[in-house]
Amino acid sequence: MSRVGLKIGLVTAVLLLIVVASASAQQCTIEGTSVDKVITSNVTAAVTMKLYDIDKLFNCTNYYVAQYDYGDTIKILLSGLDADNTTTFKIVDNATGDAKYITSFQAASKELIIDTSQLYPGDFYIVVMYTYELINTSNSSTMKEFNVPLYLRLYTAKPEIHIAIENERVPIVKGDNIVAKVKVYGTGLPEDVYVKISGPISYEVLYWNGSGFNTSRENIKGKFVSSREETLVIPTEPLFTKYNGTEGTYTLTVEVLGETESVDFEIRGITITFDMPTTTTLGTEIKLKGYVNIAETNSTEDNGTPNMVYVGIWLPNGSFVRPDGSLMSGVEEVNEKNYTRVCKVDTDGSWENDSKVYLDPTWGTGSYKVMAFAVVTDKINDSETIYISVEEPTIEFKMDKTTYARGEDIKFKGVATARKGTVIELWCDQGWDKLLREPLTEKIEVSVGSDGKWETNKYHIKYDAAKTTYTIHARIKGTDYEDVITISVEKAPLVAEISRTSAPRGADIVISGTTTMDYVFIYTDDYPVLDNVGELWSDSKAFNPDEVAKDPRYKYYKLKVTDEKFSVQLTVNESADTGTYTIYVIAPANESWINPAEDAMVQLSLTVTEFGFLTIPTEIKMVRGDTIDVYVQVNADPDDVIVKAEFTGQGVKVKEDKLVFTKYNESNGTGWLYATLYPFYNDTLDKLVDEGKPTELLRPGVYTLTLHMYNKETNEEISEAETAVPVVVEPLELNVNVPEEVVKGDPIVVKIETNRKSTKIYDYIYVVLDLGVKKMKYSRVALDNEGKAEVEIPTAGIDPGTYKLYVRDAMHTLDPKGRDIEDWYDISPTDAYAKDYYADDDVLWVGEVKILETAPVTTTVTPTPTTPTPTPTTPTPTPTTPTPTPTTTTPTPTTPPPTTTTPTPGFEAVFAIAGLLAIAYLLRRRQ
């Protein structure tokens, strides 16, 4: 709360004598100047209090006065105290009994230095106590040296007067009260105080006597009897209604003992503003509110009649809106009897009424008059007027879409510029019974929410609704305001695809797609073609799927749609004849009645071959710089066929004779083959290779691996077996987790996470802690098959301090000159000379770790996720993990193809051995 108008004045009246104990002055003599005085407790003889350097010691017969100049420093020594007891020292105003200085302590003796400028001029007494009084200088029975009271006087040649205008809001508005706090020091109590007002009034000065104004000098009666501070509340209304006052600057003056102090303040007229939109619509509610400069309603500054703002609204035709929303005529102005809303005034001057005014749509559009009438007193008030433009209400459909399929859910929704609870009615020109499955009356009714939105319940398009357009109306009930929308009923959207268009018997295929329907049905055009899938009963006539499925030949495969997506893996029947078949994917409007001629349907082609791939990856993922093995399963003896592949995309073209698969395993006439995809493309050799330059690394993107199968004996291609598989090369993501602080002696644990999840060993990770002259290097750190690694850096020999830590993935490309990592560990991949070290394709993480001498009271360890720095020519590495191909269709890199014959060491064993060899190799390197 701001306080303005504060002015502290020191009056210049000479104070000849301050009366302490009575209203009549006593004769005083000076017993000494600049003297010390010791006072011994009459309660506990050991306790003494010494007052140093008393300016003047007065003997006034019935009391003594130890006088110091106000503003001086007083030195007091307390001795002989009980150190086990709490001693309290107080300086108390003699007139009011209020303690103005208090301190407590436990000590045998205590020297106190007291700055008297923190107090005020006047007479005080001193109290020294435990739980009971030891010395009270106003009580002679507690002192051995004095048989009368001893008072402490803070002397000034003139009393001190403080005046502060404490109105919450200034300037003060005419009719409101002046609230002023007055403080008088350096006098006895009670004391005569005169308060007067001057300014642009018809008298030179007016005296305030505590209850009214007088033109003659008059003391405030009843004030300043037992307190040095009083809050004066002075009305301003008489200044204007009785003494012809005008707006302007006024002066409040306080007089004590013939001396005065003054403060100026402003009195202004009433100012009203509105805080309302100037444009709105019929059917909405408006809150009447604004600001006014008058005092808060019923506050100290509010004089007499409570401050209020009365607000009225007139329609364009002159009708006046009453509080209950009814209309009346003949009202010309707003007052305490005629109003639409009445508002209290808040502390900040805001006025409003929480009960909003509803603009009835029947009132009509146009310019509405709004008047605010502010009342301060019965005789002081003012008004302000604005005009607001009231327009037609709006209503609008906000549908998610306008095209629907038979059987699909539908909600009608929209927005309206109408108050909460307003009824919206909807109807269909063609009739709801022609469009919706639910039985409905002619109109649907919904209510507008507090946010202006409206929405119906969920309905369903009829299974047999005509595939045409329907016109829907939404209207604000009881008005002509409406919106119209046209929706269409069409076949359900259906997208379906097959993972491969040719497959041998026993092979797996995946059918997937999207639709807005809840289920899809799968059929074929013959039987048997796919396991658990029957033949379509008719491609032109409607039928009950459950009824016709009583014959196993017409069994359907029903698949639930989730989030508008579906996917299923199906197997080519072992008895299927070779040839090309049609697979039907149907999204029926009615699950109990399939109509191929009307329902959404997609036809897919599948060729069943004699020879081909039983199992292939649906997608191959590898992280840039990785080496991976790709496995396929054929429905023949691997010794009787040759599998080759082309690898193309992103400017890469590897011919099939450069990518030949090797036999891995066989079982019951079928078997597994695999080939290795390396991370580099050598355009001279036109093949993928294990080593290369940064410019030869496969770039992130999508490639195609096209599989070909040949009869080994005749070398003829089995063309129907040709299959294409997408290969996604993903950018690298490198995340490093390291503690911010480590206590010397504890290891720095560096946790590295990447999206490399190949079963092939990857050991191109480097970790360097830069100690300045010395570097702690960890080269060729190997990742596990989850793409993770952990390095512990000992700190016993490291001085406390903050050091930089570097973690680098060299991306399988090392310095061609074989230089030590110390030469290039901190080179940014974006620096021009990074190319000289084959480091321009690297991903670099840089952080800091602080080594402490001792552990702090609390230690917070924060993981530090990092986004790797992209090279200028390479997309930013993104953390991704090679997604294992589905175990139902493709062996994952860590799982060997199934074997039912003699047990053979699987990939787990192979890679476990390889892992041990790699670790041994790394340990040998570090030796």
User: For residue 583, what pLDDT band results from cuts at 50, 70 and 90?
Assistant: very high
- Residue listed under structure tokens 């000849």: 16
Query: Of 2.60.40, 1.25.40, 1.10.3470, 3.90.550, which CATH number belongs to 629-729?
Result: 2.60.40
The Cα 331–Cα 350 span in angstroms is 26
So what's the pLDDT on residue 910? 36
So what's the pLDDT on residue 84? 94
Assign 354 to helix, strand or coil: coil
pLDDT digits over 602-643, tens only? 999 999 988 889 999 989 999 999 999 999 999 888 888 999
Peptide bond into 235 cis (omega under 30): no
Does pLDDT of 20 surpass 60? no
Angle at 518 between CA 513 and CA 519, to 5 degrees: 65
The Cα 175–Cα 181 span in angstroms is 19
Residues of the chain with CATH 2.60.40.1930: 160-268, 395-490
Q: Where are the alpha helices (DSSP H) in 8-129?
A: none
So what's the pLDDT on residue 927? 38
Tell me if 807 sits within 8 A of 765, measured CB to CB: yes
User: For residue 228, what pLDDT band results from cuts at 50, 70 and 90?
Assistant: confident
* For range 431-446, the mean pLDDT: 93
Annotation: CATH topology of 160-268:
Immunoglobulin-like (2.60.40)
In the Cβ-directed half-sphere of 632, how many Cα atoms lie within 13 Å? Answer: 32
Lowest mean pLDDT among 117-121, 601-605, 844-848: 117-121
Both tokens assigned to 359: 């603009």
Tell me if 374 sits within 8 A of 309, measured CB to CB: yes
Does pLDDT of 104 surpass 90? yes
**What is the average pLDDT value for the chain, to the nearest integer?**
88
The Cα 111–Cα 78 span in angstroms is 6
- Residue listed under structure tokens 């109003």: 339
The Cα 46–Cα 42 span in angstroms is 9
So what's the pLDDT on residue 221? 67
Both tokens assigned to 89: 């020292």
Does pLDDT of 887 surpass 70? no
Both tokens assigned to 629: 């093995």
pLDDT digits over 699-708, tens only? 999 999 999 9
Q: Rounded to whole angstroms, what are the CA distances from 31 to 64, 562, 722?
A: 10, 105, 126
- The Cβ of residue 556 has, within 10 Å, a number of other Cβ atoms equal to 22
The Cα 284–Cα 151 span in angstroms is 74
Both tokens assigned to 166: 């404490």
- The Cβ of residue 11 has, within 10 Å, a number of other Cβ atoms equal to 20
Both tokens assigned to 200: 């642009």
- The Cβ of residue 88 has, within 10 Å, a number of other Cβ atoms equal to 17
User: For residue 26, what pLDDT band results from cuts at 50, 70 and 90?
Assistant: low
DSSP code for 909: H
CATH architecture label of 734-852: Sandwich (2.60)
Whether domain 395-490 has CATH 2.60.40.1930: the reply is yes
Assign 404 to helix, strand or coil: strand
Does pLDDT of 492 surpass 90? no
Domain 272-391 sits in CATH at 2.60.40.10
So what's the pLDDT on residue 452? 94
Assign 666 to helix, strand or coil: strand
Is the pTM value of this prediction over 0.85? no
Percent of residues, the chain, with pLDDT higher than 90: 76
Whether domain 27-155 has CATH 2.60.40: the reply is yes
Closest of 386, 296, 271 to residue 349, by C-alpha = 296
Tell me if 474 sits within 8 A of 412, measured CB to CB: yes
The Cα 732–Cα 872 span in angstroms is 15
- Residue listed under structure tokens 């294409």: 724
Does pLDDT of 557 surpass 60? yes
Does pLDDT of 759 surpass 90? no
- The Cβ of residue 717 has, within 10 Å, a number of other Cβ atoms equal to 15
pLDDT digits over 238-253, tens only? 999 999 999 999 999 9
Whether domain 494-609 has CATH 3.40.50.1400: the reply is no
So what's the pLDDT on residue 858? 53
Residues of the chain with CATH 2.60.40.10: 272-391, 494-609
Amino acid at 68: Y
* For range 709-726, the mean pLDDT: 91
- The Cβ of residue 304 has, within 10 Å, a number of other Cβ atoms equal to 14
Q: When comparing pLDDT for 159 and 391, which is higher? A: 391
Assign 238 to helix, strand or coil: helix
User: For residue 570, what pLDDT band results from cuts at 50, 70 and 90?
Assistant: very high
User: For residue 857, what pLDDT band results from cuts at 50, 70 and 90?
Assistant: low
Does pLDDT of 666 surpass 70? no
- Residue listed under structure tokens 């100049």: 69
So what's the pLDDT on residue 877? 35
